[in-house]
Amino acid sequence: MNCFCRKIFACISLLICVFLTGCSVNRFIPEDEYMLNHVSIRSDKKEFKTAPLVGYIGQHPNNKWFSLVKVPLYIYSLSGQDSTKRFNRFIRRLGEPPVIYDSAMSQKTRLNIQNAVRNMGYLNAEVDLVEVMKGNRIGVRYYVQPYQRYKVNEILQDIQDTAVAQQLKQDGYVSLLEDNMPFDLNVLESERNRLNAHLQNRGYNKFNKDFVRFEADTTTGNHLVDLKMILQEYSTGKAGDIKPHQRYTIGDVTYNIPVSHHKPFVRPKVIASANELVGGNLYREQDLQSSYSRLNRLGAVQSSRVSLSANAEDSTKLDALISVTPSKRNSFNVELEGTNSAGDLGVAVAFSYQNRNLFRGSELLSIKARGAFEAIKGLRGYSDQNFIEYSFESGITFPDFICPFLRQSFRKRSLATSELSFMFDSQDRPEFHRRVLTTSWRYKWTRAARRMQHRIDLLDINYVFMPWISDTFKEIYLDNPESRNAILRYNYENLFIVKWGYSFFYSSQSLNPNSKNYGTNAYIIRASVETAGNLLYGISNMSKASRNEDGQYTLFDNAYAQYVKGDFDFSKSFVINKANSLALHFGLGIAYPYANSTILPYEKRYFSGGANSVRGWNVRELGPGSFLGNDGKIDFINQTGDLKLDMNIEYRTHLFWKFDGAVFVDAGNIWTLRDYPDQPGGQFRFDTFWRQIAVAYGLGVRLNFNYFILRLDGGMKAIHPAYEDSRRHYPIIHPNFKRDFSFHFAVGLPF
């Protein structure tokens, strides 16, 4: 038995020992009471779906890890009876006490399920509660007998306010209610909410859904219902105080902006542009909520309030007073970090400054300066043995589109920012010196629903300058015919990248940071496309500019990159119960260099392996294709590609306290589109790529603080595409822990 198998055997033995302590759970079950063992909802009617009724269950049994074993309960049972001892209290906090059956709660659940089924239109439905006892354990089953579902025979409308009736007709309002539909009270409630929202956005400020009610006549027979919707006139509740609903317009709009240094702390125009309540316009609830959203996203504003009051001269108008409170204008931060790169120790310090109201327009100015030093050991033939880096970056974010050609209506519908950024990075290594200069202008925007986000990099310029390369590095890597590598050489030349890009993000739930997509039935789509060099190439070609010795057009004597790159990413999670969910992920990226380039810039190439890819491999350790690298070691230049595929499935479960667990299977790889001599086996071919898909499996632990997640994942190789012999190609059959295991630490979920 090898080392890996012995460790697996030891872990399994330990788990068996823990599970065998389950008998000690009895110590925590009071006499004459029962521990709730399982709960289920069933129905003999196959077409009736019971899954939507799970939310009405008031008492659930103890949590199971991966829906299999009640490990938290067994951990709790390891504690002693004396709760005054610190160790016992600690073990109990890690575990979960047995759920003691509450018969009153079960009866309440039975009635809740029965009412829910009847609200679906099964007016004669019955729910039976069956208790199955075994020792001091109990199982609970709710049997649903829905019987026949009622349908709506005829729908009548009684809109008592003729102005409201005319408004709905003019708007072409389409009701959810129709003849022969199932008689579902949930649909009726949705219709009340839709009517309320519709009229609130048509000037009816004081309208609410309580003015809409339904009368149902079930005496028609044959499980049919005659339904009448009544929309009442306005009433304060006092006898005889009934009148038509008032339709309001916006009257005077005023602003309360605190003063700083004898001036409003922010220009009134900025607050006015964020406000959508315009004098003379009809009152719309969505304008009010949009105004709040726009005001609160201004960095200069800490909080906002919109007060509506009746106009003194015209009772059909609502005056709006918009008040804002300033946020802290300046902030300063210092970061200190230590590094250890394969035994080479280093230190870095960063200073950052933010001004949230630079020109009194809620512009955000960010400045950051960083310096780093690392003592490099073991390099021979180089005069300097240290790595020194310093960088400077700054940016200004404007809280709107800075673009003269956009329609005002589009601006109002969008929550946008315009960003100008600049970055300079200087790296002095023993092998070479590199300077990188980057500047960009981009737009970001989302709509009011905040589910979809767009970004356009209108202009992004990167200039890479290599002022010095050591003779030793040139001789060994760049000029030596035996080790000369086209990809490596390309990445140590001066280079211009002038690109344009667009990216798209969509979440089936709100992008609001307070919303929680973790462990929910949500899906996320990311897509992006970028291209570089086309405009420059067109100008160079038309002007018949000269080319360098490699046949490339140049800008300021430096070749510029030309490529197109596209990425697509999809992830979806499925809720199984409150403690367990399943997550799926698919990612595909492809980039193609052409015309002025035959090789992608290094920072645009794909790599595989790591915490967010195929987790049985370390980062940049896998691929391309069946390429092995330098005797199985990481080859950071050659283990890159032009095409990437990632497929992941992950089962997530709550363990205890803040800890969550995961079991995952990952598959994927990278490939090159061209056949490069330095990457044998790396080119993508339709007839062979499927045999080059790497597979890994593993376990993960997550420390979930809701606002951020710390993640530890351990992955094992299952299928290794770089080897042909079965022993190395299928490590899942012949595992070697030292050879096949990779450990990853990351912040956030992998997808």
Q: Provide the CB-side half-sphere exposure for 571 (13 A, CA).
A: 22
Give the span between the Cα atoms of 176 and 195, in whole angstroms. Answer: 10
Read off the DSSP letter of residue 149. Answer: P
Give the span between the Cα atoms of 383 and 376, in whole angstroms. Answer: 12
Give the span between the Cα atoms of 193 and 200, in whole angstroms. Answer: 10
84 C-beta neighbours (distance < 10 Å), count: 7
Read off the DSSP letter of residue 82. Answer: -
| Tokens at 132, concatenated | 């199955």
Give the span between the Cα atoms of 163 and 541, in whole angstroms. Answer: 67
β-pairing verdict for 580-593 and 554-555: unpaired
| Tokens at 741, concatenated | 């295991």
Give the span between the Cα atoms of 413 and 447, in whole angstroms. Answer: 6
| Tokens at 656, concatenated | 């205890």
Q: What angle do CA 525, 529, 533 make, to 5 degrees?
A: 170
Q: What angle do CA 622, 627, 633 make, to 5 degrees?
A: 60
Token look-up 């120790």 returns 345
Beta-carbon contacts of 125 under 8 Å, excluding residues fewer than 6 positions away, are 114, 117, 118, 144, 145, 146, 147
Rounded to 10°, the helix 185-200/162-171 angle is 90
Beta-carbon contacts of 176 under 8 Å, excluding residues fewer than 6 positions away, are 187, 190, 191, 194
pLDDT of residue 519: 45
Length of the chain, in residues: 751
Cis peptide before 721 (omega within 30 of 0): no
Beta-carbon contacts of 185 under 8 Å, excluding residues fewer than 6 positions away, are 119, 120, 121
H or E element that contains 185: helix 185-200
Q: What's the gap between Cα 279 and its chain centre? A: 39
Give the span between the Cα atoms of 664 and 615, in whole angstroms. Answer: 9
Give a three-class secondary structure readout of 281-320: CECCHHHHHHHHHHHHCCCCEEEEEEEEEECCCCCCEEEE
- Average pLDDT for consecutive 10-residue bins of the chain (751 residues)? 48 49 75 93 91 91 86 85 83 88 96 96 96 94 96 94 95 93 96 97 96 93 93 84 94 95 93 94 95 93 96 95 96 85 78 96 97 80 80 96 85 90 94 93 83 94 91 78 66 88 88 44 92 94 90 89 97 87 96 92 90 92 86 69 96 87 96 89 93 96 87 95 90 91 90 87
C-alpha pair distances (Å), 575 with each of 206, 424, 509, 659, 751: 39, 46, 14, 18, 16
What's the sign of the alpha-carbon dihedral 64, 648, 607, 734?
Answer: positive
Q: Provide the CB-side half-sphere exposure for 545 (13 A, CA).
A: 18
Phi and psi at 143, nearest 5°, equal: -95, 120
| Tokens at 256, concatenated | 């309360």
Give the span between the Cα atoms of 346 and 344, in whole angstroms. Answer: 7
H or E element that contains 92: helix 86-94
Beta-carbon contacts of 177 under 8 Å, excluding residues fewer than 6 positions away, are 152, 155, 187, 188, 191, 227, 229
Beta-carbon contacts of 695 under 8 Å, excluding residues fewer than 6 positions away, are 614, 616, 665, 666, 667, 717, 718, 719, 732
Find out whether 626 and 612 touch, Cβ atoms under 8 Å: no
Phi and psi at 113, nearest 5°, equal: -65, -40
Give the span between the Cα atoms of 488 and 494, in whole angstroms. Answer: 13
Give a three-class secondary structure readout of 563-617: EEEEEEEEEEEEEEECCEEEEEEEEEEEEEECCCCCCCCHHHCECECCCCCCCCC
701 SS3 class: strand
430 C-beta neighbours (distance < 10 Å), count: 17
C-alpha pair distances (Å), 655 with each of 9, 54, 86, 173, 535: 22, 21, 21, 49, 55
pLDDT of residue 623: 87
Find out whether 641 and 620 touch, Cβ atoms under 8 Å: no
Give the span between the Cα atoms of 628 and 631, in whole angstroms. Answer: 7
Q: Determine the residue type at 736.
A: N
Q: What's the gap between Cα 85 and its chain centre? A: 42
141 C-beta neighbours (distance < 10 Å), count: 14
Give the span between the Cα atoms of 134 and 737, in whole angstroms. Answer: 44
Give a three-class secondary structure readout of 379-406: CCCCCCCEEEEEEEEEEEEECCCCCCCC
* Alpha helices by DSSP H, 468-512: 471-473, 486-490
Give the span between the Cα atoms of 643 and 640, in whole angstroms. Answer: 9
Q: Determine the residue type at 642.
A: D
Give the span between the Cα atoms of 489 and 466, in whole angstroms. Answer: 12
Give the span between the Cα atoms of 14 and 357, in whole angstroms. Answer: 59
Q: What angle do CA 142, 147, 152 make, to 5 degrees?
A: 125
Give the span between the Cα atoms of 463 and 496, in whole angstroms. Answer: 5
| Tokens at 309, concatenated | 């009051």
pLDDT of residue 201: 97
Give the span between the Cα atoms of 457 and 442, in whole angstroms. Answer: 4
Phi and psi at 64, nearest 5°, equal: -115, 135
What domains, with CATH codes, occur in the chain? 3-145 (3.10.20.310), 151-243 (3.10.20), 249-326 (3.10.20.310)
Beta-carbon contacts of 620 under 8 Å, excluding residues fewer than 6 positions away, are 607, 608, 609, 610, 634, 636, 639, 640
In the chain the first and final C-alpha atoms are separated, in Å, by 36
